[in-house]
Amino acid sequence: AISNETIEFQAEARQLLQLMVHSIYSTKDLFLRELISNSSDALDKLRLAAYRDKDLEVDTSDLHIDLEIDPAQRTLTIRDNGIGMTRDEVVDLIGTIAKSGTGQMLAQLREAREAGGSEEGTAELIGQFGVGFYSSFMVADRVVMVTRKAGTHHGVRWESTGEGTYTVSELPAAPQGTAVTLHLKAEDTEDSLQDFTDPATVRSVVKRYSDFITWPIRMAAERPAPAEGEDDVAAPEPQVVNSGKALWSRPQSEVSAEEYAEFYRHVSHDWREPLETIRLSAEGTFEYQALLFLPSHAPMDLYMRDSKRGVQLYVKRVFIMDECEALIPEYLRFVKGVVDASDLSLNVSREILQQDRQIQLIRRRLVRKVLSTIKSLQEDEKEKYSTLWAEVGRALKEGLLSDQDNQQSILEVCSFASTHDAEELTTLGQYVERMPEGQDAIYYMTGESRAALEHSPHMEAFRAKGYEVLLLTDPIDEVWVDAVPAFQEKNLTSIARGEVDLGGEDIDDDTRQGFESLLSWVATELSDDVKEVRLSHRLTDSAAVLVNDPGDLTPALERMYRAMGQ
């Protein structure tokens, strides 16, 4: 080693590691999935780098992942000949966590613990977050990583027990790629299922979690005992453990739900089951296949500024990029999966993709397919639909503003609280079906809470008339209602605006005259606050109500703009 440095893990990384080191939870075997997944990514990256830079000094003739067991030393090594890391990358990528939502997740975990939360709850939270490389410390008390970045000559050695610090040193040489060696904890021998020095255990874990990985995952076959008179036998060829077929290229009927679920976990870093699997493909001049998933839980970062979009782009089974924003609009960022297009160049950049007509066609089709899938859940699998709506409905509603072309289809899959039912949400379609004779608009009111809206004097005339009112309490509701004029040709109309006409008799002149002096007195008294004071049919119990003019901001929107400093 040329230099040997001891460095402290970043604070958040340290906390996450503590959880791993003292992990109590039972599915420890998923560390292997995480490490294989990292190796698979590293091989993808190397293949692409070599393709783009013909001068890169690398060997791409035999890219693979090797699993090596040493029962005597109690070690398990995961080795790939992929892209590798420089010293600085090791420090940045392994010594810190850059993921958004880390702080939030740790705070939630702490809370759950203090409230005496279950192990399952902990696992759930961690799973949602995806712990990656650190999961090694669930089964190992010491981890050594040797890596060399493609195109460089020195290697880097990283070592840690997961307790606060790690060491890094430079090596004069190292094989291409990355090898992670786990020094397995002793206690794991007590449970045969958890004995990762047993090749059969390791093989079954690989089959279960990583079968679809497209790179060969190899393990040394057991060496047969030497026959009498022989000194030793040659080491047998390593055997490939995984079947390695891209799921999206296999016939739908041949892929099991479990395989889909594992693949979902690989692309989404969400350890739970997907809510729904979507396949689509096109043949002919522009061929592509897509495998998409709807989540059963909102991704951790769904409502954060730099949240990720979840669709990966492949070209003929070759991984090209993560988070391909050209393929899916921002409001569908919760959709995870893969699009494999046949006719793109492996060299495509994000900028080129944004302009590409074929990609725009794929995107349009994906959007329609996702929306129609949600629609059919709404019709046939109500529970799944409700789950989805509760988790990602707010993101979907953003589409009402940003995706004019699909506005009506998005509206169809939205659900809202309404005066019709105290608990059940309603769709606009159901609302329209319930509209009595004579009602020709869809009425809504926006505000802070259901209770506040229900007690609003605006509601009185509508209650008296038996007209249903949508109760919109989400901040984004304030915004989209202005962008959406109508649904099924019924105008969306705020009951808090002045122009609402509920019919009813005209107010006769005598009545008018009787109120004139009162009205002008009120108008003078309140001249700083209101534009006009007038007689109305709107009220049944209250004496007065404040309404907005058609062009005015609603009170909640006013508050929102004010909060944004405008």
Which residue number, 50 or 267, has a Cβ lying nearer to Mg ion? Answer: 267
Instruction: Name which of residues 231 to 270 contact ligand ADP (CB under 6 A).
Output: 269
In whole angstroms, what is the distance from residue 389 CA to residue 385 CA? 6
What are the backbone dihedrals phi and psi of residue 479, each rounded to the nearest 5 degrees, phi first?
A: -90, -45
Question: By three-state DSSP, how is residue 224 classified?
Answer: coil
**Residue 42 makes contact with ligand ADP by CB under 6 A:** yes
The values of phi and psi at residue 58, to 5°, are -145, 160
Residue 13 or 413: the one with the smaller Cβ distance to Mg ion is 13
| Choice from 34, 270, 340, 412 touching ligand ADP (CB under 6 A) | 34
| Bridge partners, 143 (sequence order) | 160, 182
Taking the C-alpha atoms of residue 344 and residue 318, their distance in angstroms, rounded to an integer, is 11
Among the listed residues 328, 471, 477, the one whose alpha carbon sits nearest the alpha carbon of residue 400: 477
Q: Which residues contact 299 (CB under 8 A, 6 or more apart)?
A: 128, 268, 270, 307, 308, 310, 333, 334
Q: How far is the CB of 337 from ligand ADP (least distance, A)?
A: 17
Contact of 325 with 306, CB cutoff 8 Å:
no
**Does residue 310 touch ligand ADP according to CB under 6 A?**
no
On whether the CB atoms of residues 90 and 174 are closer than 8 A, the answer is no
42 binds, among Mg ion, ligand ADP, none (CB under 5 to 8 A by kind): ligand ADP
38 binds Mg ion (CB under 5 A): yes
Least Å distance, CB 131 to Mg ion, is 9
* Nearest C-alpha neighbor of 313 from the set 361, 282, 274, 353: 353
Q: Which is nearer to Mg ion, 139 or 362 (CB)?
A: 139
If one asks whether residue 406 binds Mg ion (CB under 5 A), the answer comes out as no
Question: Does 159 help bind ligand ADP (rule: CB under 6 A)?
Answer: no
State the minimum distance, in angstroms, from the CB of residue 230 to Mg ion. Answer: 44
- Applying CB under 6 A, does 38 fall inside the site for ligand ADP? yes
Q: Whose Cβ is closer to ligand ADP: residue 39's or residue 494's?
A: 39
Residue 316, both tokens: 């003929």
State how far the Cα of 202 lies from the Cα of 217, in Å rounded to an integer.
11
DSSP notation for 223-238: PPPPPTT-S--PPPPE
Q: Give the phi and the psi of residue 519 in degrees, each rounded to 5.
A: -60, -45
Nearer Cβ to ligand ADP, position 17 or 556? 17
What whole-number distance in Å separates Cα of residue 194 and Cα of residue 187? 9
CB of 314: closest distance to ligand ADP in angstroms?
A: 18
Q: How far apart are CA 414 and CA 253, in angstroms?
A: 31
Interface with ligand ADP by CB under 6 A: which range of 127-135, 236-244, 304-312, 451-459? 127-135
Q: Which amino acid is at 543?
A: A
Window contacting ligand ADP (CB under 6 A); options: 35-43, 194-202, 316-324, 461-469: 35-43
Q: CB nearer to ligand ADP: give 100 or 189.
A: 100
Q: How far apart are CA 259 and CA 251, in angstroms?
A: 13
Given the complex with ligand ADP, which of 97 and 469 has the nearer CB atom? 97
276 binds, among Mg ion, ligand ADP, none (CB under 5 to 8 A by kind): none
Look-up of token digits 């569908």: 332
Size of the site for Mg ion (CB under 5 A): 2
Token output for 320: 């090209």
The residue type at 203: R
Token output for 185: 């904890």
Among 133, 137, 209, 334, binds ligand ADP (CB under 6 A): 133
Check residue 504 and report its DSSP letter. Answer: -
Based on the shown chain and the rule CB under 6 A, indicate whether residue 132 belongs to the binding site for ligand ADP: yes
Q: How many residues bind ligand ADP (CB under 6 A)?
A: 16
Q: Minimal distance in Å, beta carbon 3 to Mg ion?
A: 27
Q: 79 vs 538, which CB is nearer to ligand ADP?
A: 79
Q: Which does 83 bind (CB under 5 to 8 A by kind): Mg ion, ligand ADP, none?
A: ligand ADP
Q: At its nearest, how many Å lie between ligand ADP and the CB of residue 135?
A: 8
Residue 82's binding partner out of ligand ADP, Mg ion, none, with CB under 5 to 8 Å set by partner kind: ligand ADP
Q: Which residue's Cβ lies closest to ligand ADP?
A: 132
Residues in region 439-468 near ligand ADP by CB under 6 A: none
Smallest CA-to-CA distance from 268 within 213, 217, 341, 334 is with 334
Q: Which CB atom, from 134 or from 416, has the smaller least distance to ligand ADP? A: 134
CA geometry: angle 35, 39, 44, nearest 5 deg: 145
**Do 363 and 286 meet the contact criterion of CB atoms below 8 Å apart?**
no
Angle, helix 30-52 to helix 257-268, in steps of 10 degrees: 60
Contact 454, 374 (CB under 8 A): no
According to CB under 6 A, which one of 94, 184, 395, 453 is a site residue for ligand ADP?
94
Q: Looking at beta carbons only, is 270 or 276 nearer to ligand ADP?
A: 270
Of 10-18, 31-39, 201-209, 536-544, the segment contacting ligand ADP by CB under 6 A is 31-39
How many residues are recorded in the chain?
566
DSSP class of residue 490 equals E
Shortest Å, Cβ 309 to ligand ADP: 15
95 binds Mg ion (CB under 5 A): no
Residues within window 116-135 making contact with Mg ion, judged by CB under 5 A: 132
Applying CB under 6 A, does 178 fall inside the site for ligand ADP? yes
Phi, psi of 179 (to 5 degrees): -125, 125
Residue 39 binds ligand ADP (CB under 6 A):
yes
Q: Which does 155 bind (CB under 5 to 8 A by kind): Mg ion, ligand ADP, none?
A: none
Which of 80, 262, 340, 412 is the binder for ligand ADP (CB under 6 A)? 80
In the complex, least distance from residue 180 CB atom to ligand ADP, rounded to whole angstroms: 7
Phi/psi of residue 193, nearest 5 degrees: -65, -25
Residues interacting with ligand ADP, by CB under 6 A?
34, 38-39, 42, 80, 82-85, 93-94, 130, 132-133, 178, 269
List residues near Mg ion by CB under 5 A. 38, 132
